[in-house]
Amino acid sequence: DAKTTQPNSMESNEEEPVHLPCNHSTISGTDYIHWYRQLPSQGPEYVIHGLTSNVNNRMASLAIAEDRKSSTLILHRATLRDAAVYYCILRDTASARQLTFGSGTQLTVLP
């Protein structure tokens, strides 16, 4: 299975943009890049996903490198409620392989 590598932790100031990196150098052509986050005492929640092109939604933006070996989740204005563990996950919809969580990045947002 293709693996992802993320920094263990990152800090951001409130109301500033946050760029969360993810490396996936062994990504295959059919792997979608998914991001989930887990707030304290809650189950993970979907943030965004993409295949090749950059994606935007109301929560975040996903920037995917041209070679697809890395991606960046962008929170445009961090709030205290964005403090969570962010997981970058590869999902191959062409196979039965399931979403396997890596170790994730603990984001701390400073007031």
Partner 1 sequence: DTEVTQTPKHLVMGMTNKKSLKCEQHMGHRAMYWYKQKAKKPPELMFVYSYEKLSINESVPSRFSPECPNSSLLNLHLHALQPEDSALYLCASRSQGTNEKLFFGSGTQLSVL
| 53 contributes a contact to partner 1 by CB under 8 A | no
Q: Which stretch binds partner 1 (CB under 8 A): 12-20, 54-62, 67-75, 88-96?
A: 88-96
Do strands 55-56 and 105-110 pair parallel, antiparallel, or not at all (unpaired)?
A: unpaired
Rounded CA-CA distance 46/73 in Å is: 12
Answer yes or no: are the C-beta atoms of 102 and 5 closer than 8 Å.
yes
- Taking CB under 8 A as the criterion, the residue among 5, 28, 100, 108 binding partner 1 is 100
Do strands 31-38 and 84-92 pair parallel, antiparallel, or not at all (unpaired)?
A: antiparallel
| 101 contributes a contact to partner 1 by CB under 8 A | yes
Residue whose C-alpha is closest to residue 40's, from 86, 83, 7, 88: 83
Q: Which stretch binds partner 1 (CB under 8 A): 13-21, 59-67, 76-84, 101-109?
A: 101-109
Residues of this chain that bind partner 1 (CB under 8 A):
32, 36, 41-46, 49, 51, 85, 87, 91, 93, 96, 98-104
